[in-house]
Amino acid sequence: MDAAFWVLRFKINSNDLHRLLEIKNFVPNNEEDLEQWKQRIRANVEMDVNLTAEWQIYATENKKMEEYLFVNTNSLDVVFVLQY
């Protein structure tokens, strides 16, 4: 199977964010390195995302693919990453 790396950037309101986290079973993930993610996103899709300490990382526990949600806690900007 071919590999894929998709990135989607959007804004979301607080209620929709909580609903998305619940529906997709995202859980906080504090083990990821934000700087490494910035480099991966830039290298794969040529998108500059300024991931700083204000960003919270969430991940799913899906075995078939990896889904990550990066949420800026100040502005509710969201970066969704799907890789498989």
With 0-12 CB in 10 A as exposed, 13-18 as middle and 19+ as buried, what is 71? buried
pTM over 0.85: yes
Question: How do the domains of the chain map onto residue ranges?
Answer: 5-83
Start-to-end CA span in the chain (Å): 9
Model confidence pLDDT, tens digit, residues 1-55: 578 999 999 999 999 999 999 999 999 998 889 999 999 999 999 999 999 999 9
Q: Would you state the pLDDT for residue 2?
A: 79
| Maximum Cα interatomic distance, the chain, rounded to a whole number of Å | 38
DSSP state of 19: H
Task: Summarize the confidence of residues 63-83 as an average pLDDT.
Answer: 93
Kindly state the tokens that stand for 45.
């899709």
Average pLDDT over the chain, rounded to an integer = 93
Kindly state the tokens that stand for 19.
């609903």
Strand partners, 71: 56, 78
Q: Which residue has the tokens 């083990």?
A: 31
